Amino acid sequence: QVQLVESGGGLVQAGGSMRLSCTASGRGFGAFAMVWFRQAPGKERELVAAISYSSGSIYYADSVKGRFTISRDNAKNTVYLQMNSVKPEDTAVYYCNANIRTSAWSNYWGQGTQVTVSS
């Protein structure tokens, strides 16, 4: 069984920075791409950023482009989301998500981490 565990959320002032982490744990899984989503109260879940296993393909939503950076350390099975110049509208629960193959492909979600940006 694979688990995605997020960390790094909390309260940050507008204009500040915060780094989120998502670590995959378990046994017998191979390479995987990772996606960060977020969901603000009363809004639909939004794709924020995505990264391939090799880091050769990276995607950002227009709303975070130039402010957020996604990266990964495959030796640690960890993906990071560096959030700079945060805005109040970045306030949301952030989730990591991945399709990971063990005996078969399955989709996994992290538990979510709250990010609150104060103005």
Quick: pLDDT tens for 83-116: 999 999 999 999 999 999 888 889 999 999 999 9
pLDDT digits (tens, 9 = 90+) for 16-69: 999 999 999 998 788 899 999 999 999 999 999 999 999 999 999 999 999 999
- 3-state per-residue secondary structure call for the chain: CCEEEEECCEEEECCCCEEEEEEEECCCCCCCCEEEEEECCCCCCEEEEEECCCCCCEEECCCCCCCEEEEEEHHHCEEEEEECCCCHHHCEEEEEEEEEECCCEEEEECCCEEEEEEC
